[in-house]
Amino acid sequence: MSNFTELDSYLFGQGTHYDIYKKLGAHIQMRKNTKGVCFNVWAPNAEKVYVIGEFNNWNETSHEMERVEPEGMGVYELFIPKVQKGSLYKYLIITKDGRKLYKADPYANYAELRPGTASAVTDIDHFVWSDSEWMDHRRSIGKDEVYEQPMTIYEVHSGSWKRHPGREDDGFYSYHDLEKSLIKYVKDMGYTHIELMGILEYPYDGSWGYQVTGYYAPTSRYGTPEEFAHFVNECHKNHIGVILDWVPAHFPKDAHGLAEFDGSPLYEYADPKKGEHPDWGTKIFDYGKNEVKNFLIGSALMWIEHYHIDGLRVDAVASMLYLDYGKQPGQWIPNKYGDNKNLEAIEFFKHINTLILGRNPGTVMIAEESTAWPKVTGPVEEDGLNFSYKWNMGWMHDFLDYMKLDPYFRKNNHYKMTFAMTYNESEKYILVLSHDEVVHLKCSMLNKMPGLEDDKFRNLMAGYAFMMGHPGKKLLFMGQDFAQAQEWSEARELDWYLLENPNHQKISKWMKELLHIYKRNRCLYELDSSWDGFEWINANDADRSIFSFIRKSKDGKNNLLFVINFTPVERPDYRVGVPKKKTYKLILNSEDPKFFGSDENREVSYKAVKSECDGREYSFAYPLPGYGVAVFKY
Active site (catalytic) residues: 315, 368
Alpha carbons 161 and 5: distance in angstroms, whole number: 45
On the CB side of 542, how many CA atoms lie within 13 Å of its CA? 12
Q: Contact 125/109 with Cβ under 8 angstroms?
A: no
- Single-letter residue type at 580: K
Q: Which of 517-520's residues contact partners 24+ apart within 8 Å by CB, and which partners?
A: 517/468, 517/587, 517/588, 517/631, 518/150, 518/152, 518/190, 518/468, 518/474, 519/150, 519/152, 519/190, 519/192
- The distance of Cα 582 from the centroid of its chain, to the nearest Å, equals 41
- Single-letter residue type at 545: S
Angle at which helices 502-520 and 453-469 cross, to 10°: 10
Pairing of strands 629-633, 560-565: antiparallel
Q: Contact 494/160 with Cβ under 8 angstroms?
A: yes
Beta bridge partners of 598: none
Alpha carbons 460 and 481: distance in angstroms, whole number: 10
Q: Contact 182/156 with Cβ under 8 angstroms?
A: yes
Q: What is the DSSP string of 222-266?
A: S--HHHHHHHHHHHHHTT-EEEEEE--S-B---TTSSTTTTSS-S
Element (H, E) at 538: strand 534-538
Alpha carbons 528 and 148: distance in angstroms, whole number: 8
- The distance of Cα 76 from the centroid of its chain, to the nearest Å, equals 35
Q: Contact 570/579 with Cβ under 8 angstroms?
A: no
CB neighbours of 126 closer than 8 A, spacing ≥ 6? none
Residue 285: name the closest of 336, 340, 312, 246 by CA: 246
Angle at which helices 225-237 and 132-140 cross, to 10°: 70
What is the chain's length? 634
Tabulate helix, strand, coil % of the chain (nearest 5): 30, 25, 45
